[in-house]
Amino acid sequence: MAKMNPTQIFQIMGLWQKFTSNHPKLPKFLKAVSSEGLKENTIIEVNITTPEGKNYCSNLKITQSDLELLEQLKQLH
């Protein structure tokens, strides 16, 4: 995996700020979920519906390595 330089990190942070201002409920939702503490074997389900009505749904079971990644991502903020 390529390393990110500081400029890329600041660009991503700016994009994230715009994304969260467009979708203010998402950070609140993520904060509520993380306050309960994601645990190993937690299942996350994602459902996407296109404007044409096509539906995509998938889920994943959280592993210990996923938790480690999430902890590293939290420290970027």
Quick: pLDDT tens for 10-34: 898 899 899 999 999 988 888 888 8
The whole-chain average pLDDT of the chain stands at: 88
Residues 62 and 76 in one domain: yes
**Can you tell me whether residue 48 is helix, strand or coil?**
strand
The number of distinct structural domains making up the chain is: 2
Domain boundaries, position 61:
39-77
What pLDDT does 77 receive? 59
Residues 62 and 45 in one domain: yes
What pLDDT does 10 receive? 87
Residues 54 and 76 in one domain: yes
